[in-house]
Structure 1
Amino acid sequence: MRYASAWLCAVCEWRHGDLVDQELPPPRVDVVYYLRYADRVKIGTTANPRQRTAAIWHEDLLAFERGDRRLEHRRHVQFADERFDRTEWFSLSKRLRDHIETVRGGIEDPWDRYSRWVSEAVALQG
């Protein structure tokens, strides 16, 4: 939003260009992630997606969904028919692909959505 004094984010109200106070502890933002490798998708959860996605062999980060282990478990149950054995890997079926598209909500880069969630969480801390 444009004000006479500066541009502000309409969601988190941080002024464009301002740096977050480094003394604030980083907020915890739990996400369910969807990673694709070939025709498989890993559905997992983490509070540190950069570290977690770097540790898993994958071709594409398809989406983030805000949630913790409970949401991850619901997704595992929801897509149980597509599951490979007892792993967190699932066949990339049309049903799972449609779900991922819904989760993405038209956002091209999942990291953009994650950055917004972190900004919102920081704004609530301050």
Structure 2
Amino acid sequence: MHLAVAAEWSSRTQSVTDLLPSPCLACGSPIGVHYPSGWACAVCEWRYGEAPDSDLAPPRVDVVYYLRHGDRVKIGTTANPRQRFTAIWHEEVLAFERGDRRLERRRHEQFAADRFGGSEWFRLTPAIAEHADVVAGGRDPWDVYARWMSEAAALSDRQRR
């Protein structure tokens, strides 16, 4: 009984990480932190219940992505990974790296020896796997992308004021 009372008191005075009542409007994450004053997104820290300014255009964040399908990796670029990935057969998102076509081109040159023809597909070699691991930094790629989107939205909002 004592532990139950202590846990209840702690949840009223400290933060508790749990599922948000609904996904974050800023980044889409389902995970939040419940503070005594309310909820905040655990990924982008958007205050739950606040609506993004509808006058603002959605932020644009270009990324170089690493998708694995079997023993192959696609290295490509997009500003809208969720939409782009619906058209690409893949089993796993290995990493996102912030960058545009120039960075994508450098990665294609870096791993050219493992490239399938002129495509964006490469053999999954230890070098590519290690590079994707370093880029991911032990974090879920979607959490990283959500954070970048949130930061871009906050920056654009600050610049607008």
**TM-score over 0.5 for the pair:** yes
Post-superposition shift, 1:69? 0.1
Contact 1:38 1:59 in 2 (8 A): yes
Larger radius of gyration: 2
The number of equivalent residue pairs is 122
Contact 1:36 1:62 in 2 (8 A): yes
Indicate the SS of the match to 2:86. helix
Question: Aligned partners of 1:6, 1:124: CA distance in 2, in Å?
Answer: 24
Look up the match of 1:68. 100
Matched, 1:42 2:78: no
Can you give the 5+ residue segments of structure 1 that lack an aligned partner in the other structure? none
Post-superposition shift, 1:15? 4.7
Q: What letter is aligned with 1:111?
A: W
Look up the match of 1:120. 151
Post-superposition shift, 1:66? 0.5
After TM superposition, the score normalised by the length of structure 1 is: 0.87
Post-superposition shift, 1:5? 6.9
Counting only pairs closer than 5 Å after superposition, residues 87-102 of structure 1 correspond to structure 2 as: 87-102=119-134
- Cα displacement string for residues 85-106 of structure 1 (whole angstroms, at most 9, x for unaligned residues): 1110000000000000000011
Report % sequence identity.
63
- Cα root mean square deviation, aligned: 2.2
Look up the match of 1:111. 142
Question: Aligned partners of 2:89, 2:39: CA distance in 1, in Å?
Answer: 39
Look up the match of 1:84. 116
